[in-house]
Chains A and B, each alone.
Chain A
Amino acid sequence: MSSLPSAPAKVPIWRDVRVLRWLFQIAVLAVVGLIIYWIWGNYQTNIERSSVQTDLRFLDNPASFTIPGNDFDQSSPVRAAFVQGFLNTIQVALVGIFFATILGTIVGIARLSKNLVVKTIAAAYVEVIRNLPLLLLLTFMNLAVVLQTFPRIEDAWKPLDLFVISNRGLAIPWFEGSAGQLSLLVLAGIVLAVIVVRLERARADKVGRPSRALLLGTLALAIVPVVGWITLGYTWTLPFVDGRGTSGGLRLDPSFFALIVALVVYTSSHIAEIVRGSILAVPRGQGEAADALALSNSQKMRIIILPQAFRVAMPALGNQYLNLIKNSSLGATISYFELTQIAQITVGNGSPAVPAFTLTLLVYLAISLFTSLFVNYFNRRLALVER
């Protein structure tokens, strides 16, 4: 009996791994809690002592400033200014992401080109832009390109009399009518495009011929708003120089232009590297199989390589999109009225700093989390279903 290995004695509680793990976690939690409690207490006493306003009442005060390119006036509440700043940030983000993705993909593909000139130019672009600070790039775009290259409003360029280009903005022909109706028509166009693409894909699969979904979808997207607009009897207006600015058409703020160009150029250099890496991550056999099927180079890229590459690229791309959105706050330095600029101006005009900037932080956080959610959703949809 004594030769048999004795049954393991009951582990004493101070050596029980499960208990110790719990104790350890509780201890860590307690430390974190105490630190937060201490910071919060300090904050409260200091705020109380210096009688600083901490609630959000200021959102109902009149804003007292104006926002260029907008009918927002100074008697509107601060709340409305924040909403306009939010919309302007979203506008920069959407336009920036759209063009950065396209440019980045093109440069990424070009970096893998067999043509030495194309390859070298793409490599130089990526290496130079990627290693510059964005703020510098933005300041350069504003000072050297918008302010110096574009003419003064007195000698504005008017190509074909359709555009007015000066350092006070870029004015383009635009529909005349309500923005609400226009967005409804665009929405209808999108719906139609989705239906057309689905039908065309199904037809192509059945018939066994390459689908022309992209072409037909784009047409559907464009035709509905244009036809709708014409049949509704609306017209379009051309921009013209009017005094110290322009009238008619749609005017893009010069700082908007500088900001978009800087963000697109900068982000595309990062996206290009992601695209290049993702293309290289697609197994060689896929490309060879496409060659064996006698697909053209463009078909091979479009149908075989890129869809698989984007599956790899999606998480990294999402990161770049988040960066672009957050980087858009640099527009505040060159007077683009996005969220940060609104926060800074409203604080300068009497809103309390701590709540105003806290609100701004939370809005950026919400935008970023929403973007992450969207990217994750897309990622799951694209991911290979493995069994």
Chain B
Amino acid sequence: MKKATLFVSALAVGALVLSGCAADDSSESTATTTTNNNSSSTTETAVETVSMLEAVQAAGTVRCGTRDALPGFAVLDESGEHVGFDSDFCRVIAAAVLGDASAVDMVDLETADRFTALQNGSIDVLVRNTTWTATRDGSEAATFLQPTFYDGQGMMVASDSGYSSINQMNGAVVCVAKGTTTEGNAALESSRLGLGWEVRAFDEVDLILEAFLAGQCDGWSSDVSQLTGLRSAYPDGAAALTILPEVFSKEPLGPAVLDGDTHWAQVVNWAILATIQAEEFGITSANVDSIRSSTTDVGILRFLGADVPTSDGSAVLDPGLGLPTDFAYQVVKQVGNYGEIFARHLSPLGLERGVNSLWTDGGLMYAPPYR
């Protein structure tokens, strides 16, 4: 009896001590979360407090949400490195913010998890073939920036299927990858044309490939860029597949950051825009050094963060974005201009520049003036 009393009282005291600690802990951590929250909410009102940009610079790496299995956009090579169009834009951001294109932490995400990763702060920026839509801007807490690729949803069929237009695909089984707007677009097009497609949605591209090879699907619908990449890696050879001419959705793909941090959004935006501006100026990774040392074009000098002669000596343009003044130079030098990145990863797949040409060539790629 006595022993039991002792034991229970010891337990009780222990629990009280523990609960005291736990209560302290929790009040402390609530305190820290509120201060965090304060600091980030002040960024919305006053721009001098830089949240994400400061955090990234302090960490020394950009955590970039990406993927590992989309040929042309982001795949792993033999040494485990991410290679592709999207991966290079992750590097563009790192080169601009940190001056080092290799200072990227590539975070592979499933399609369905990508916005959650952005919302819970496990990535700084999402560059993962993500379509800019109103709902995502409004309800997913994402802010979309300069599109890096203007895409559209299309349909791929077996070359020997006899289809030459989606209008002939009456009652067809159409397979798509889950986690994005693809099912919705296919369903809309099917009802618009009265074709009665059965849309099947799979978790993985590999599972669609198996279903397609076995003849369970008549059509494979996705963004044309993805279809081109998938066709180039098709086991029976690219000629066995045909991408039909119709494109039935607008898919502007671009980077996204978390809502509420305008400063970080501007920084990422200008990193992307620098690649477009560089192409317009004709600056490539090969000639950037010679242009920088020899040109007299004030616009180019400003853009590359070089000394611009003024009435009283010289000055370097700092637009006040919070980026190093030579960020554009670092981007072009270490990664390349838009045209180079496109030629490196997307041209080999057989993708044309098309609407992704510069505005001077009749495309949509247009950067606001850097001044």
**A residues engaging B (CB < 8 A)?**
11, 14-15, 17, 20-21, 23-24, 27-28, 30-31, 34-35, 37-38, 41-42, 45-46, 49-53, 64-66, 68-69, 73-74, 142-143, 146-148, 152-154, 167-168, 242-245, 254-255, 332-335, 341, 344-345, 347-350, 352-353
Contacts and interface: CB of A to CB of B under 8 A. Distances in A.
A51 B260 contact: yes
18 contacts: A15-B5, A27-B19, A34-B23, A35-B22, A42-B33, A53-B139, A64-B181, A65-B187, A68-B199, A74-B184, A74-B191, A245-B171, A335-B207, A341-B201, A345-B201, A348-B111, A348-B183, A349-B184
A42 B349 CA distance: 46
Nearest to A52: B141
B286 interface: no
Nearest to A70: B198
A45 B38 CA distance: 10
Interface stretch (B212-220, B304-312, B334-342): B212-220
Interface stretch (B8-16, B69-77, B99-107, B323-331): B8-16
B12 to A, nearest CB: 4
Contact of B181 (A52, A66, A242, A350): A350
A24 B15 contact: yes
A349 B183 contact: yes
A41 B259 contact: no
Interface string B247-289: 0000000000011100000000000000000000000000000
Interface stretch (B54-62, B112-120, B290-298): B112-120
A348 B210 CA distance: 23
Interface string B111-151: 11001100110000000000001011001110000000000
B344 interface: no
Interface of B: 4-5, 8-9, 11-12, 15-16, 18-19, 22-23, 26, 29-30, 33-34, 37, 40-41, 111-112, 115-116, 119-120, 133, 135-136, 139-141, 170-173, 175, 178-184, 187-188, 190-191, 197-204, 207, 210-211, 214-216, 218, 258-260
Given A20-B8, A52-B119, A65 B183 contact: yes
Contacts of A28: 15, 19
Given A65-B201, A152-B215, A345-B179, 12 more contacts: A20-B9, A35-B26, A38-B26, A45-B37, A68-B198, A74-B191, A243-B170, A333-B204, A348-B179, A348-B181, A350-B135, A350-B139
A74 B188 contact: yes
A151 to B, nearest CB: 9
B23 A168 contact: no
A30 B19 contact: yes
Contact of B178 (A35, A64, A152, A345): A345
Given A14-B9, A68-B199, A168-B216, A344 B178 contact: yes
Contact of A51 (B141, B187, B202): B141
Given A65-B199, A243-B171, A345-B201, A49 B40 contact: yes
A31 B41 contact: no
A41 B140 contact: no
Contacts of A345: 178-179, 183, 201
Contacts of A245: 171, 173, 198
Contacts, number: 174
A1 B197 CA distance: 101
A68 B203 CA distance: 16
Contacts of B115: 353
Closest 4 CB pairs of A and B: A50-B141, A147-B214, A152-B215, A64-B184
Contacts of A335: 175, 178, 200-202, 207
Q: Is the interface of B mostly helix, strand, loop or mixed?
A: helix
A153 B260 CA distance: 52
Q: Is the interface of A mostly helix, strand, loop or mixed?
A: helix
B14 to A, nearest CB: 9
Nearest to A53: B139
A347 B34 CA distance: 30
Contact of B179 (A24, A35, A153, A344): A344
A46 B172 CA distance: 45
B200 A167 contact: no
Residue of B111, B119, B175, B181 with most partner-chain A CB within 10 A = B119
B26 A34 contact: yes
A351 to B, nearest CB: 8
Contacts of A73: 187, 191
A253 to B, nearest CB: 9
A332 B12 contact: no
B259 A152 contact: no
Given A334-B207, A344-B112, A65 B171 contact: no
Contacts of A51: 141, 259-260
B140 A352 contact: yes
A15 B116 CA distance: 52
B201 A168 contact: no
Contact of B199 (A52, A66, A154, A350): A66
A167 B18 CA distance: 61
B87 to A, nearest CB: 23
A294 to B, nearest CB: 56
B207 A333 contact: yes
A54 B53 CA distance: 28
Nearest to B182: A348
Contacts of A17: 4-5, 8
Contact of A65 (B9, B23, B184): B184
Contacts of A65: 183-184, 187, 199, 201
B183 A347 contact: no
Contacts of A334: 202-203, 207
A147 B40 contact: no
A31 B19 CA distance: 6
Contacts of B140: 52, 352
A108 to B, nearest CB: 34
Nearest to A143: B210
A156 B1 CA distance: 80
Nearest to A62: B184
Contacts of B215: 152-154, 167
